[in-house]
Amino acid sequence: MKELRLMKGNEAIAEAAIRVGVDGYFGYPITPQSEVLEYLMLQKPEERTGMVVLQAESEVAAINMLYGGAGAGKMVMTSSSSPGISLKQEGITYMAGAELPGLILNVVRGGPGLGTIQPAQSDYFQAVKGGGHGDYRLIVLAPNSVQEMYDFVETGFDLAFKYRTPVMVLSDGAIGQMMEKVEVGEQKKRLTDAEVKERCPWATTGKDANRERNIITSLDLDPHQQEVFNHKLQAKYKEIEKNEVVLEEIQTEDAEYLFVAYGTSSRICQKSVQLARAKGLKVGLLRPITLFPFPTERLKELGKQVKGILSVEMSAGQMIEDIKLAVECNVPVEHFGRMGGIIPSPEEVVEALEQKLK
């Protein structure tokens, strides 16, 4: 039987962590995501599943706890919001460099700097293009509902372990704070030590006589070896681009114009599609669910079908660059967005379409 709950996005992701058998969560308070840590502490996951939950002294420490736990083959996650995610970039690039799985939630707020605590989508570049130093990518999942906040915990860990790479759930203050109905899954058991060793033969679980020692590091002082490793990483990202693109389309079959939006903006755009169609404008919506890998191929096709594309983002326009690259100048691409923590209204999105593209 389905188990339904009314939950905040931040609570849903915390409940999902317990239910999918996450081994450790390491967090630090920051608005608008503090409910993740609060919910976990209330739930006593040590009693429910043996999951470790720890409030770290900083975001820097929390992400490095992730590195340590992930290096031991454990399912570990952290969450924060924009300024805190900036602090985590050091650990994230080390995890990418050491090929460690892990889940990082960013409940994005407006910036730059301390900015605002209201929702924004201005961390797209940071999440999708790398964020920290060096040539690396994260798999980036963009939920637009509380249900997806729940579901993407398991999806994220599956991908993280499949590719040995950190995965980011790029949410925002609206999805994190709003309450919706959620179908929660069955309680899964955490992996046993033997199962961890089987899934992660590379993990630092203690060297026994049957194997060489395992080393988790991102260091190779030999430039030739370092280049070989970089090629390996890039090949992995190519593989991810080939296999893991996920998107949603709404009324694109006959669309003459296209909104491209993710997360909260995509919910606004669903309404904007209805409003535009009521006015006789044939508009569709493409929602990238994975931001890396980006749905480049499908956008390229739609670029040949439609007369114009509007990238709707709660930012000054970041994803628009990937859309432009995808459509290869076949069609005009414009941006509409609000910044500073403002969510655009469906009406102003339609207005922007009419002004900029029609």
Partner 1 sequence: MAENVINKDIVKEENLVYKKTDLLTDKPLSYCPGCGHGTAHRLVMEVIEELNAQDKTVGVAPVGCSVLAYEFMDIDMQQAAHGRAPALATALKRLNPENYIFTYQGDGDLAAIGTAETIHACNRGENITIIFVNNGIYGMTGGQMAPTTLPGMKSSTSPYGREVHSMGAPMKITELIAELPGTYYVTRQAVHTPAAARKAKKALKKAFENQKLKKGLSFVEIVSNCNSGWKMTPVQANQWMVDNMFPFYPLGDIKVPEE
Residues interacting with partner 1, by CB under 8 A?
Answer: 23-24, 26, 52, 54, 56-58, 60-62, 64-69, 71-72, 74, 76, 90-91, 94, 98, 193, 204-209, 213-219
224, two tokens: 């030739």
Do you find a cis peptide bond into 332, omega within 30 degrees of 0? no
Q: CB 191 → partner 1: shortest distance, Å?
A: 11
C-beta closer to partner 1: residue 65 or 107? 65
Cα 135 → chain centroid: 18
CB closer to partner 1, 1 vs 217:
217
Strands 139-141 and 166-172: parallel
Task: Name the residue nearer to partner 1 (CB basis): 136 or 257.
Answer: 136
Q: Smallest distance, Å, CB 14 to partner 1? A: 18
Phi-psi domain of 335 (left: phi exceeds 0; alpha: psi -120 through 50; beta: other):
beta
Q: Which is nearer to partner 1, 132 or 143 (CB)?
A: 132
Q: Are 188 and 153 in contact (CB under 8 A)?
A: no
Q: Describe the strand order of the beta sheet including 247-250 as a list of residue ranges.
A: 247-250, 283-288, 257-260, 308-312, 333-336
Output the smallest distance, CB 226 to partner 1, in A: 14
Q: How far is the CB of 131 from partner 1 (least distance, A)?
A: 15
User: Collapsing DSSP states into helix, strand and coil, what is residue 13?
Assistant: helix
Please, what is the minimum distance in Å from the beta carbon of residue 25 to partner 1?
10
Cβ proximity to partner 1: between 200 and 306 the closer is 200
Tokens representing 326?
A: 């995808």
